[in-house]
Amino acid sequence: MDKTVDLDAADEEASTKPPAVRHGFLPITTNWFDRLFIGIYLFVALELLWMRFLEQAVPLTVCHVIAIALGALIVWKG
Task: Give pLDDT tens digits for 50-71.
Answer: 999 999 999 999 999 999 999 9
- Global pTM reads 0.67
- pLDDT tier for residue 20 given thresholds of 50, 70 and 90: low
- Contact present, 71 and 37 (Cβ < 8 Å): no
Structural domain includes residue 4: no
Question: How large a percentage of the chain has pLDDT more than 70?
Answer: 86
Structural domain includes residue 7: no
Q: Give residues with Cβ within 8 angstroms of 32, minimum separation 6.
A: 75
Rounded to the nearest 5°, which phi and psi values hold at 55? -65, -30
Query: Is the predicted pLDDT of residue 27 greater than 70, yes or no?
Result: yes
**pLDDT at residue 74, as a whole number:** 94
Domain that holds residue 70: 23-77
- Contact present, 38 and 74 (Cβ < 8 Å): yes
Structural domain includes residue 5: no
Looking at the structure of the chain, the number of domains it has is 1
Structural domain includes residue 37: yes
